A = this chain, B = another copy of it.
């Protein structure tokens, strides 16, 4: 059923949508690519670059023209657009998205488009780039990367099958997960580290010895704070969209940090060494697994 080429539509034509469009054309999964974007210039550029074949005049017009619809806009625009897509399904057999947070969107869909929810397969490609915009679109962006889908009992099997096939065609490894667990995992591994890096740099930047701090910081500090150079608007939106899971991860972290603080304050070297040692063991194991994944993948 997933054999043969599909007409694929994108709501939002930036780096992620453009890269997926290029990958799907290159592998022959897509027979045609249509897109709508609130910015007409993005559509013009995508047409010029042959990333897309057609520009749609509206979201409902796009939904009438495609088998598979992908929402690929910034987080804050997602809720209104996914509802517009699901309430105007046209001839689309499935709708998916690429937002970093899944629970808030899914709850909005269940509340405001309960029938359309059967077509919706929430998705999150664990990939990105420092660049943005359709001109930076790269057909290889998702190759050997993971994509998490969070279908549940509401999801139509045909919709899941199509979205799974779409990401596989782009070279990604697809794994399914419960929507709440997705948001907890991403809060722990990505959203919380961003908040910690932003908080640290913010604290140091306001320190009375700020100049010496930044003068004597070196490569280790640069690595640790790299994510504090991320886009503030994107991370504002992610922090608010994943509020519950992020606060839970933050509070859990602070409990562990306070225990470490107590050990430092009371001079409890044995407790400090014990915590540092078990963290090192877990982190070394993670780094080995990640290196093995990269070797298998390349």
Contact = CB atoms under 8 A, between A and B. Distances in A.
Interface of A: 126, 146, 148, 177, 181, 184-186, 188-190, 192-193, 195-207, 209, 212-233, 235-237, 239-240, 243, 246-247, 250, 252-257, 260-261, 264-265, 267, 269, 272-273, 275-280, 282-287, 289-290
Nearest to A187: B213
Nearest to A223: B223
Given A189-B216, A202-B279, A232-B280, 8 more contacts: A190-B220, A198-B280, A222-B287, A223-B224, A226-B287, A239-B264, A243-B264, A250-B261
A286 B247 contact: no
B282 A204 contact: yes
Contact of A181 (B181, B212, B219, B250): B212
Nearest to A196: B196
25 contacts: A126-B216, A148-B216, A181-B209, A181-B212, A189-B204, A189-B221, A193-B200, A193-B221, A196-B200, A197-B283, A198-B275, A201-B280, A201-B283, A202-B256, A205-B278, A214-B289, A219-B290, A223-B227, A225-B286, A228-B279, A229-B283, A230-B276, A232-B273, A236-B269, A236-B276
Nearest to A198: B279
A28 B81 CA distance: 71
Given A199-B253, A264-B239, A283-B228, A188 B205 contact: no
A147 to B, nearest CB: 11
Contacts of A231: 280
A252 to B, nearest CB: 5
